[in-house]
């Protein structure tokens, strides 16, 4: 995995698995009015002079399930990296089309009687000069008079989801054109999606990502030094501050999940230079007016403000807002300087890029309505004045980035030491004392239990009503390492129950006879401590019959002495039964169906019924444990994440989970939601029915997957052909066959490419219980990416990208 010196997390390049029918080019890199280009089975295309870019037709499947053909531009060496599309919302219905010049316009004609599929819509000019259309080495497809260098039309004026070096975003005054990016509808559907990226205020480098027109994220691109801002009589524009050539490729894309990502490819290796958003603080106005999201992802009131009343937030929720401690008068002459801030929303701000710091301060003082000001360019003494005249919206603080924000305050609210923020200092002291107190509390509990229970020192029973407060206060019961070591016979190999990426699980028995399962972290586990903290913080605070129960933990300065203690389950994990080839473990359909419903109930609890909305992110048969009654228990919460407040999606710094089970949006865009678990459950459900591993098909490198095979069988009405032979041999009843068909259809719905198309786990339970009679017809499943990792494809982070290309 490649990362740059600034420790940006690697994100895979946007890639599209499509059927291309273009392999040979026309002579040269242009077309004329006399020589239209036929794009059909003869596989012709236009290639730029240095063979960097290629223009032609490609095929993609829309969300409706219908195939369409598109005129697009892509990197010739990476034909699946589409950077521009002409007819994204008006696809061709077949693979035959003609690209031609007529009356000073470009036309894409499907050779049918109707109007052209796409054209440039230029005003016709009477001119005898010959026209030429050509593809340049910067990826710009242009139309011009053959003896002139200026362009009549260029594709750079109409970007899709990709900004190339030399492309500009912003306002073109001469053409009355606002250049923006619009996402794809999904990873595979190139039609216009819900997300748009535009320059919010053309005089500052603030970019706004909207979702169906509503602000979703806002970023200051100046922090990354990725853009150049320019204002002329013709335009106010922002362009990428990078170059491209034969050996280096860089693109900025707005993903179908609404994220901005700059990816660079050099010598076959890829790295992400910039990715946004990164955390919950990047959500638009996540903390409300006059409040900012701090470096700990918590909300704080601005200086001079305090938590006050409430305002409506959605249909049923409300939250506190920050109100002024003292009313601001027109005579105030003081400002509070706050460093490392993301500047407030500039949509209604007053901007003058020619004014410096001193003049900007004077203007704000003279304006009674001015509440704050800042300088847009802090270099070279500071220039570019921005003033706000109302509430300050969408703020956050950074550790090192950001700009100085000057907030106008009454003198009484400034205090003696105006520019010293003691909150972080106090927070650090309190946090340190709290941590010390926790260590002392754990030690005291161990000592007191040693004294009071000599027969079973330091070990507690699963928490009763007496110990529930301890669980509530600080997660789990502290346990003594030596006692646990004794219970597992010093972690004997004979007591090994299983091994994972961060440790080994052992069977143990306490002096009172109670059996336990102990996860012991490996000494070199980089993610072990994070996983241990995750499990303590999450699973200890939730209780459900279909979730594994955490009994206690042991945390020491030695990484290999970090332990998690669980309830012991007698019947191993689900994979032992459904993937058994020896015939030793037989699981009939009745048991499988009950296990499926138990897993669903556990996920419903995690997703909506627990105190936290928990996303597991590593669902697979190995992590489903079966007790003595074969009741399933979801385990291993080391990768789990929570969604807080009104958030419906989260962003991981890298793809997490196990290959074959990772949802496309998590694998490609590092975005997760409850629907990510739904996808993993869908894969697991189809494995339970078929008795086959999805990864065994993916590793064949032939583009097939278990999901695709099952979908093909389902679409042909041959569902029972893919059922586990063990089940076929057990003489299934007609009722059981109906349940199997229903499970397959539900599983295929769960593995839809788009998260929006997948059902919730609540709906899944209703479908399984026949509470809902009608089940939607599934679409083809999302393609499963295999990247060439050696050995078992189970990991908590994404491996290096191999030679195969996956989803966009």
The model's confidence at residue 428, banded by pLDDT at 50, 70 and 90, is low
For the cut 50, the answer to whether the pLDDT of residue 453 exceeds it is: no
203: nearest Cα among 351, 360, 408: 351
Low-confidence winner among 174-178, 375-379, 399-403 (lowest mean pLDDT)? 375-379
For the cut 70, the answer to whether the pLDDT of residue 418 exceeds it is: no
d(CA 619, CA 637): 9
Positions at the binding site for ATP: 520
Give the 3-state secondary structure of residue 747. helix
Q: Which residue has the higher pLDDT, 401 or 338?
A: 338
For the cut 50, the answer to whether the pLDDT of residue 314 exceeds it is: no
Please provide the size of the chain in residues.
808
For the cut 80, the answer to whether the pLDDT of residue 80 exceeds it is: no
For residues 180-201, give the mean pLDDT.
89
Concatenate the DSSP letters of all residues of 184-199 into one string: ESSSS--SEEEEEEEE
Positions at the binding site: 520
Q: Write the DSSP symbol of residue 25.
A: E
Concatenate the DSSP letters of all residues of 631-673 into one string: -EEE---TT-EEE-TT---EE-SS--SBTTTS-HHHHHH-EE-
Q: What is the Cα 305 distance to its own chain's centre?
A: 34
Mean pLDDT (the chain, rounded): 78
For the cut 70, the answer to whether the pLDDT of residue 531 exceeds it is: no
For the cut 70, the answer to whether the pLDDT of residue 710 exceeds it is: yes
The model's confidence at residue 474, banded by pLDDT at 50, 70 and 90, is very low
For residues 694-709, give the mean pLDDT.
72
Q: Which residue has the higher pLDDT, 380 or 108?
A: 108
Class of the CATH domain delimited by 474-568: alpha beta
Report pLDDT for 559: 64
For the cut 90, the answer to whether the pLDDT of residue 445 exceeds it is: no
Q: Which residue has the higher pLDDT, 210 or 309?
A: 210
Report pLDDT for 689: 97
For the cut 50, the answer to whether the pLDDT of residue 2 exceeds it is: no
Q: Which residue has the higher pLDDT, 645 or 481?
A: 481
Report pLDDT for 370: 95
Residue-wise burial string across 98-134, b where 16 or more C-beta atoms lie within 10 A, e elsewhere: ebbbeebbbbbbbeeeeebbbbbeeeeeeeeeebbbb
For residues 109-135, give the mean pLDDT.
82
User: Active-site positions?
Assistant: 618
d(CA 15, CA 806): 6
Token pair of 685 as six digits: 């459900």
In this prediction, what percent of the chain has a pLDDT beyond 90? 36
Class of the CATH domain delimited by 576-782: mainly alpha
The model's confidence at residue 533, banded by pLDDT at 50, 70 and 90, is low
- Tens-place pLDDT, residues 542-568: 788 999 988 888 876 666 678 889 899
Asked whether 354 and 334 are in contact (CB, 8 A), the reply is: no
d(CA 613, CA 645): 9
- Tens-place pLDDT, residues 244-289: 555 677 888 998 888 888 888 775 566 777 788 877 788 899 888 9
Q: Which CATH number is associated with domain 28-158?
A: 2.90.10.10
- Tens-place pLDDT, residues 483-501: 899 999 999 989 988 776 5
Asked whether 789 and 797 are in contact (CB, 8 A), the reply is: no
Report pLDDT for 309: 65
For the cut 80, the answer to whether the pLDDT of residue 32 exceeds it is: yes
- Tens-place pLDDT, residues 334-371: 899 999 999 999 888 999 988 899 999 999 999 999 99
The model's confidence at residue 460, banded by pLDDT at 50, 70 and 90, is very low
Q: For the chain, give every domain's residue range.
A: 28-158, 281-309+319-413, 474-568, 576-782
């Amino acid at each position: 995995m490649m990362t740059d010196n600034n420790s940006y997390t690697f994100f895979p390049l946007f890639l599209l698995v499509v059927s291309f029918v273009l392999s040979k080019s026309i002579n040269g890199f242009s077309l004329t009015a006399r020589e239209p280009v036929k794009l059909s089975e003869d596989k012709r295309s236009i290639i730029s002079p240095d063979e960097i870019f290629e223009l032609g037709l490609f095929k993609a499947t829309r969300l409706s399930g219908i195939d369409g053909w598109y005129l697009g531009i892509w990197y010739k060496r990476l034909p699946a990296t589409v950077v521009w599309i002409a007819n994204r919302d008006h696809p061709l219905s077949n693979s035959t089309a003609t690209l031609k010049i007529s009356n000073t316009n470009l036309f894409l004609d499907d050779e049918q009687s109707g109007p052209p599929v796409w054209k440039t819509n230029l005003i016709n000019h009477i001119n005898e000069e010959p026209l030429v259309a050509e593809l340049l080495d910067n990826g710009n497809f242009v139309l011009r008079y053959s003896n002139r260098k200026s362009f009549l039309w260029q594709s750079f004026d109409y970007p899709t989801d990709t900004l190339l070096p030399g492309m500009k975003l912003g306002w073109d005054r001469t053409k009355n054109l606002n250049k923006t990016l619009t996402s794809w509808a999904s990873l595979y559907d190139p039609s216009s999606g819900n997300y748009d990226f535009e320059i919010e205020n053309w005089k500052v480098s603030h970019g706004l990502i909207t979702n169906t027109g509503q602000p979703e994220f806002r970023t200051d691109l100046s922090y990354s030094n990725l853009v150049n801002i320019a204002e002329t009589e013709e335009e106010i524009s922002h362009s990428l501050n990078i170059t491209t050539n034969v050996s280096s490729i860089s693109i900025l894309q707005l993903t179908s999940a609404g994220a901005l990502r700059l990816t660079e490819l050099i010598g076959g290796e890829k790295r992400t230079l910039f990715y946004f958003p990164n955390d919950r603080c990047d959500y638009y106005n996540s903390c409300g007016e006059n409040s900012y999201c701090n470096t700990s992802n918590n909300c704080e009131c601005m200086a001079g403000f305090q938590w006050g009343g409430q305002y409506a937030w959605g249909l049923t929720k409300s939250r506190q807002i920050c109100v002024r401690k003292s009313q601001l008068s027109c005579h105030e002459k003081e400002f509070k300087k706050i460093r490392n801030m993301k500047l407030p929303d500039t949509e209604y701000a007053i901007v003058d890029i020619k004014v410096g710091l001193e003049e900007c301060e004077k203007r704000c003082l003279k304006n009674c309505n001015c509440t704050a000001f800042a300088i847009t360019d802090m270099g070279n003494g500071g220039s570019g004045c921005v003033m706000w005249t109302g509430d300050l919206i969408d703020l956050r603080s950074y550790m090192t980035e950001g700009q100085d924000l000057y907030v106008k305050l009454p003198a009484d609210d400034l205090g003696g030491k105006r520019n010293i923020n003691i909150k972080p200092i106090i927070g650090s002291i309190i946090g340190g004392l709290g941590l010390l107190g926790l260590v002392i509390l754990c030690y005291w509990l161990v000592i007191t239990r040693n004294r009071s229970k000599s027969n079973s020192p330091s070990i507690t029973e699963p928490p009763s009503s007496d110990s529930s407060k301890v669980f509530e206060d600080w997660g789990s019961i502290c346990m003594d390492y030596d006692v646990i070591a004794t219970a597992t016979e010093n972690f004997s190999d004979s007591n090994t129950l299983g091994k994972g990426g961060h440790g080994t699980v052992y069977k143990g028995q306490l002096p009172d006879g109670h059996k336990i399962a102990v996860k012991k972290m490996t000494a070199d586990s980089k993610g072990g401590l994070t996983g241990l903290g995750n499990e303590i913080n999450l699973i200890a605070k939730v209780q459900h019959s279909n979730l594994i129960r955490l009994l206690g933990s042991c945390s020491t300065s030695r990484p290999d002495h970090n332990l998690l203690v669980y309830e012991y389950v007698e019947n191993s994990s689900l994979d032992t039964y459904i993937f058994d080839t020896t015939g030793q473990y037989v699981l009939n359909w009745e048991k499988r169906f009950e296990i499926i419903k138990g897993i669903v109930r556990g996920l419903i609890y995690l997703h909506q019924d627990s105190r936290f909305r928990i996303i597991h992110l590593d669902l697979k048969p190995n992590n489903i444990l079966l007790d003595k009654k074969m009741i399933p228990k979801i385990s291993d919460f080391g990768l789990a994440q929570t969604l807080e407040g009104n958030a419906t999606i989260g962003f991981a710094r890298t793809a997490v989970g196990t290959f074959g089970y990772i949802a496309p949006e998590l694998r490609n865009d590092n975005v997760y939601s409850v629907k990510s678990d739904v996808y993993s459950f869908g894969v697991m459900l189809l494995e339970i029915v078929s008795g086959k591993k999805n990864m065994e098909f993916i590793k064949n490198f032939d583009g097939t997957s278990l999901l695709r095979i099952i979908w093909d069988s389902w679409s042909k009405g041959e569902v029972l052909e893919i059922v586990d032979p063990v089940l076929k041999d057990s003489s299934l009843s007609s009722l059981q066959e109906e349940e199997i068909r229903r499970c397959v259809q539900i599983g295929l719905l769960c593995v839809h490419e788009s998260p929006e198309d997948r059902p919730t786990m609540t709906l899944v339970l209703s479908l399984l219980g026949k509470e809902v009679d009608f089940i939607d017809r599934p679409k083809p499943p999302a393609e499963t990416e295999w990247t060439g990792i050696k050995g078992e494809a189970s990991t908590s982070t994404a491996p290096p990208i191999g030679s195969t290309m996956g989803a966009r």
